[in-house]
Every structure is written in C-alpha cells, then in structure tokens.
Amino acid sequence: MKTAACLGRITPYLFARIDERRSALEAQGIDVISLGIGDPDMPTPPHIVNAMAEAVRKPANHQYPDYAGSPAYREACASYLRHRFGVEVDPASEVLALIGSKEGIAHLHTAFVDPGDYVLAPSIGYPVYSGGATLANANTYFMPMKEENGFLADFSNVPEDVLSRAKIMFLGYPNNPTGACATEEYFDRAIAFSLEHGLLLAHDNAYCDLCFDGYVAPSILERPHAKECCIEFFSLSKPYNMTGWRIAFACGNREAVQALGTVKNNMDSGQFTAVQEAAIVALTQDQQCVADMCALYRRRRDLVVEALRSIGLECTAPKATIYVWAKVPAGETSESFATKLLERAHVIVTPGSGYGPDGEGYVRISLTTPDDRLVEAVDRIRETM
C-alpha cells in the first residue's frame, strides 16, 4: 500500500506537542483550561434548534438534498446578502450551499489549480488555504502579513514566476487569527490586482457578523468589479454557534461558484435539507441572538486584553472575531511561550507559528470559553507570569 505523495507534504500538526503535554498534565489530575480552540461554547439559539426539530420530521427531507442547496436556502442566503450588505446575487447561479466553509475552501483548489500551480495565501491564516493546495499537488506562496501593515496581506511583491502560475488569492477579514479588519481601499487594491493577473480572489468572511464597538464588517462583494473575480465564503458556524451543524455558503462570481459546484457534485451530495431549513431560520429571522453573542465576546475581549496588558503583553483590542492576538514577551517564541503558559498556569493558548511563517512571535487566545473559566485562566496567567 502506498499513499499519495501529497499526503507526505502535509505540514505536521503543529499543536501535537501541546496536546500531548496537556494529556500528561490532565493524567496527573491537573485542571487545564484551553483558550486554544475557536469553537463557540454557547448553544445554538433555541429558535434555530426548534426549526431543525420540525424539519427533521418531514419525510421529504430524508431524501437526497439538492446538491447546490435547496432553492429556499439559496434564496435566504441571497436575502441575507441584500439586507446585510446591499449585495445582489442570483440565488440560482451565484450561491452554493456548503457543508461548512472549510469544505468549500478545500474543494475550491480542485476547481482551480492544476499540479504545479500556485495559490497566494496570507502568511498568517486559516491552514486550509495552503493545505488544500498541497492536496491538489499545487504550491502555496505566502504573502507577508506584518503588524506594521495592519496585518493586511501584502501582494505587491509576488515574484513574476509565481504570479504567472498563480490561480487563487485567499484573503479573510475580519481575520482569524489576528483580528485585523480590512479597509475598502485594501479590498479595491486586491480586486484590481486579481483582475490584472487573472486570479480568483477567494474571500473568507466567517466573522463579518461578530463585530464590536460599532464596527460593521463589509462583504468584499460590496466593492466595484468584485463579481468579476471574487468568490466569498460565509459560514453560519461562528455567528449562530452552529459549528457542529456544518452549514455555510459560497457566493459571487458565477463561473467560480459553478466550478466549485461541479467539483462538489462529484464529491458529495449536499447538506441535509433539514439543516438547510434551520439555517434559513437563522439567516432570515431576528438577529438579536447574534447581537447578544457580540456583547458576550466584547466583554470577554475586554477582560483578556486588560489582563494581558497588566502583565506587559502587547495586544490590540480587535474590532471583530472571537480571538485576541498577542505578542509574546521578548526572548520567547510562540511555542516556548505557549509551553510556559501551559506548564506554569495550566492554560492553553495557540502558538501563532501554527498559522504560518509570520505568525511567529504571537499567540492566539480564543474567547470561546465560559466566563468563569476565562476569568480563572486570566487570573492564573496574571499570577504566574
């Protein structure tokens, strides 16, 4: 038996050592608090759960779903885009249901890259952008992503030989893990660059509805000419506490949406229609549940930012997302500092280096831990550091 060569090129799981150490500490009876995972701790709002309970009883939903998503779900996605961003898309041809946006992002490579091609990915980013390229026997060029540039990925110096073989540029703002937000001017430059070089611009917008302090994150599709080159990924996972349900959608450029749909037709048979029915309720009914989550995360953000600053760690309070991105103290690496916090405070944070080369020197703290545990974690960090 011989596995595919591309599997051998998948980067080893960077957090494996921390997981191992955590298990060892827990085996000794030590209480470890994880601030590592970006998975909302609060339950899915009851009106969405109730819609699912009803939908699951309908025999029609027990059969194969529409592969591209039910017309009603795609209409709800289009309606959300219209009301939230003033963006118009044709639900029949410019919206595609996904089994989570991770699935869509991973399959986008199959639709667009051939062996030896390049994708441009931010040097700090969601690992699937480059992992999907590796699985498609393609290469990743990491665009520098520096704090002094507001963590906006810099596509101005991509070498010509890379650019000539590049197919997709991935961006995602509000950004996981840095919490950075893009300006309209940046999006306009990215669109102009993509059009000039014949790239598909894939914008991962998983956090647009988790904003604070009056900030309202945009869709890249609001920008002029975006539909000529952009596909955008939206996920119900984070705003509606639905990570386990696996429901998201892609929208934007028709050719890109159709190409992704063709790949998916040959890979999966769509998401359970009952889940889509519940998602329609999430997207089209009262958005108070999302506002409540924003208030909760903002409170937790302030708690964490204040605690980090009190022990001398630099961090910017993010205007969006569910993460705080902090600089490690001088003399530490991402991993040495994360290890120190685990050994001394029994608190897990994620080493920034796990998100790509420019993540070195930072750690990510997730705000998806119940308040009392978060307070305790912060107290422990304060006491031990």
Helix, coil or strand: residue 267: coil
Answer yes or no whether residue 204 interacts with ligand PLP by CB under 6 A.
yes
Per CB under 6 A, 270 contacts ligand PLP: no
Name which of residues 112 to 141 contact ligand PLP (CB under 6 A).
Answer: 126
- The CB-of-106 to ligand PLP minimum distance in angstroms stands at 9
- Beta carbon nearer to ligand PLP, 192 or 263: 263
Q: How many CB atoms lie within 10 A of CB 357?
A: 11
Nearer to ligand PLP, 87 or 171 (CB): 171
Exposed/middle/buried for 6, CB within 10 Å: 0-12, 13-18, 19+?
middle
CB 356 within 8 A of CB 125: yes
Name the residue nearer to ligand PLP (CB basis): 218 or 381: 218
Phi/psi of residue 217, nearest 5 degrees: -75, 140
Q: Does residue 70 interact with ligand PLP by CB under 6 A?
A: no
Cα of 2 vs its chain's centroid, Å: 33
- Smallest distance, Å, CB 378 to ligand PLP? 23
Applying CB under 6 A, among 139, 178, 219, 243 the residue interacting with ligand PLP is 243
Helices H / strands E in the chain, number of each: 13, 12
Does position 38 interact with ligand PLP (CB under 6 A)? The reply is yes
Please report which residue ranges of 266-287 form alpha helices under DSSP H: 273-284
The C-alpha atoms of residue 211 and residue 233 are separated, in whole angstroms, by 17
Minimum separation from the CB atom of position 198 to ligand PLP (A): 25
Q: How many CB atoms lie within 10 A of CB 110?
A: 18
Q: Least distance to ligand PLP from the beta carbon of 40, Å?
A: 10
Residue 176 found at the interface with ligand PLP (CB under 6 A): yes
Tell me how far, at minimum, the Cβ of 340 lies from ligand PLP, in Å.
26
Please tell me the count of residues contacting ligand PLP according to CB under 6 A.
14
- The reply on whether position 101 binds ligand PLP by CB under 6 A is yes
Tokens at 137, concatenated: 């026997």
- In the block, which residue shows the tokens 């080893």? 12
Q: Rounded to 5, what percent of the chain is helix, strand, coil?
A: 45, 15, 40
- Of 206, 231, 304, 307, which one interacts with ligand PLP (CB under 6 A)? 206
Could you tell me the smallest distance in angstroms from the CB atom of residue 98 to ligand PLP?
Answer: 7
Give the interface with ligand PLP as residue ranges (CB under 6 A). 38, 100-102, 126, 172, 176, 204, 206, 235, 237-238, 243, 248
